Amino acid sequence: MKKKLVKFFKANPHTAFKNKEIAKRLKVETPEDYALLKSIIHNLFEEEFLFKKGKRYQLNQFPESNKITGVLQLHPDGYGFVIPRNKKLEDVFIAERNISTAFDGDTVEVVLFAKQKRKRLEGQIINILERKKSEVTGTLQKSKSFYFIRPDSFYMQRDVYIDKSNLADAKVGDKVVVGNIEWKTPMLNPEGSVLSVLGKEGTIDADKSSIAKQFNLPLTFNRKVNDEAEKTKLEISDEELSKRLDFREENVFTIDPVDAKDFDDALSVKKLHNGNLKIGVHIADVSHYVQKDSALDKQAELRGNSVYLVGAVIPMLPEKLSNGICSLVPDEDRLTFSVIFEMKETGEVINYKISKSVIKSKRRFTYEEVQEIIEKGKGEFADEITLLNMIAQNLRKTRIEEGSIEFFTPEIVFELDEKSKPIAVKRKEIKNSNMLVEEFMLLANKTVAQHFSAPKKSGRK
């Protein structure tokens, strides 16, 4: 009935009608249907789709000046806001009843309500200009007479109906990707067809694929990227080694979470004859293997970072690089960029040097192992770790006193069994071992930033 009424008023935009006239035009005859017609007309008036002239209703044609375009951001509770393209305008509140057939992220056209019931700007979506997504993921389910998916995204409030002819061999309980989505009226649910089956709900592979699809994360690398990665030479030439500072004989080690898949930074420390300390912060030299404007470089720029999931990772670079030659694994020569500090035990930096380097990590530590060494004062490289921890605490104290923002927030850690099923949920504790690494990474980043922003300042090499 609502669909018929909307079509009727749009077909007669300049004429006002009484309820009985509309009923006669639409051939509404029974008392029940007439009561429904009056109720829906009243709702359309409340939604400001219609305006009223005495007892007559007419299409509310909003002037062009009262329309805006922008991007819809939905809230899980059903309402949303449209962020206008015109940055000078405030966000427009859209009640759930006025969202029409828009999905989260769609570019939409909105009419602004003339009568403001609230102080905030409010409107109604009248047109979908561009869909943000053409596909959604969810778990296939079945009612008595039809199939549907309940989308994984909290921001998609409607189930998507699937005709049995469009199942593509998917079975109830499968995690699937649905496309060819059509949603013509908010009175009905959207419809689509299964494009691919990701696996059974609850499995690592299916959930990983679902999350990747939901956030547009590329799971695989294209052929060109893989070919470049495969052609990467793993041997380091003598010519390249001769250009770099050599830390292979020094006590260099990494400190990472127990489930880390790659190791991209390392530390070293030793005492100098003048009583100061030489501290090295070593970062994997990925740029040696990823040439500017190469397929690898463009793919890394597109991805921006690796994405860590529970029990899985979506890497920024192919495994041969991310987990191989660019990972600072123990007992293997690895190319790095290093910031080498001459420091006092108080954390005062006397001098520094930034240079390409080569290391050979002597040990891969976990945070838990380093924390135990800090607390007990015993273990491999106990002297170095104790010394680094003392300096890290001094650096942190100085940083906080100077007004630095504390970024540590509580994190949740999932403990998995041998089949990658969660068996426990724990709150991650931030201890001295975590802050040890963090402080030296912050110091290195700050130093590099200052170096390139003021390269002629004295004290640089």
Q: What is the DSSP string of 32-82?
A: HHHHHHHHHHHHHHHTTSEEEETTEEEE----GGGEEEEEEEE-TTS-EEE
- Out of 36-50, 71-85, 398-412, 432-446, pick the least confident: 398-412
Strand partners, 25: none
Distances (CA, A) of 219 to 137, 165, 259, 286, 291: 15, 28, 20, 21, 22
pLDDT, position 327: 93
Identify the pLDDT of residue 461.
47
Region for 293 from its dihedrals, namely left if φ exceeds 0, alpha if ψ lies in -120 to 50, beta otherwise: left
In whole angstroms, what is the distance from residue 268 CA to residue 156 CA? 50
Burial of 281 (0-12, 13-18, 19+ CB in 10 A): buried
Is the model's pLDDT at 460 over the cut of 60?
no
- 285 has pLDDT over 50: yes
Cα separation, 461 vs 459, whole angstroms = 7
* Cβ–Cβ under 8 Å, residues 312 and 217: no
Contact 433, 374 (CB under 8 A): yes
**pLDDT bracket for residue 408 (50, 70, 90):** low
**Cα angle for residues 187, 213, 159 (degrees, 5° grid):** 20
User: Which of the following CATH numbers is that of domain 136-214: 2.40.50.700, 3.30.1360.170, 3.10.129.10, 3.40.190.10?
Assistant: 2.40.50.700
8 and 22 Cβ atoms separated by less than 8 Å = yes
Listed range (117-121, 200-204, 290-294, 313-317) with the worst mean pLDDT: 117-121
Is the pLDDT reported for residue 101 higher than 80?
A: yes
Question: Which tens digit of pLDDT belongs to each residue from 235-256?
Answer: 999 999 999 999 999 999 999 9
The Cα–Cα gap between 100 and 94 comes to: 10
Q: What percent of the chain has pLDDT over 90?
A: 58
Give the Cα separation of 199 and 32 in Å (integer). 48
Q: Please tell me the distance from the alpha carbon of residue 298 to that of residue 294, in angstroms, as a whole number.
A: 6
Beta bridge partner(s), residue 279? 269, 341
- Percent of the residues in the chain that have a pLDDT greater than 70, as a whole number: 96
Q: What is the pLDDT of residue 364?
A: 95
Same fold, 64-130 and 136-214: yes
Q: Look over the chain and give the mean of its residue pLDDT values, rounded to a whole number.
A: 89
Measured CA angle at 440 (ends 298, 263), to 5 deg: 50
At 352, the pLDDT band (50, 70, 90 cuts) reads very high
How many Cα atoms occupy the beta-carbon half-sphere of 82 within 13 Å? 33
Distance from C-alpha of 24 to C-alpha of 4, rounded to nearest angstrom: 13
pTM for the predicted model, two decimal places: 0.71
Q: Is the pLDDT of residue 257 over 90?
A: no
- pLDDT value for 187: 84
- CA-nearest of 71, 88, 89 to 80 is 71
Residue with more model confidence, 382 or 414: 382
Give the pLDDT band of residue 283 (cuts 50, 70, 90): very high
Is the distance from CB of 253 to CB of 266 less than 8 angstroms?
Answer: yes
pLDDT band at residue 348, thresholds of 50, 70 and 90? very high
Under 8 Å CB-to-CB from 256, ≥6 apart: which residues?
A: 263, 364, 365, 366, 367
Cα 310 from Cα 201, distance rounded (Å): 15
Domain boundary assignment for the chain: 2-59, 64-130, 136-214, 223-453
* The residue type at 83: I
Q: Rounded CA gap, 217 and 224, in Å? A: 18
CB neighbours of residue 288 within 10 Å: 17
- Measured distance CA(149)–CA(136) in Å, rounded: 9
Pairwise pLDDT comparison (408 vs 281), residue with the higher score: 281
- Of 94-108, 167-181, 443-457, minimum mean pLDDT range: 443-457
Nearest to 359 by CA among 448, 439, 265, 442: 265
- Report CA torsion sign: 24, 27, 32, 33: negative
Q: Which of 64-78, 84-98, 278-292, 403-417 has the highest mean pLDDT?
A: 278-292
Please compute Rg for the chain using Cα positions.
31
- State the amino acid at position 255 in one-letter form: I
Protein fold of 2-59: Arc Repressor Mutant, subunit A (1.10.10)
- Reported in sequence order, the residue ranges of 233-386 that DSSP labels E, i.e. its strands, are 245-246, 252-256, 265-271, 277-284, 307-309, 312-314, 333-343, 349-360, 363-366
CB 416 within 8 A of CB 311: yes
pLDDT, residue 202, reads 77
Q: 312-322, pLDDT tens digit by residue?
A: 788 899 999 99
CATH of span 64-130 = 2.40.50.140
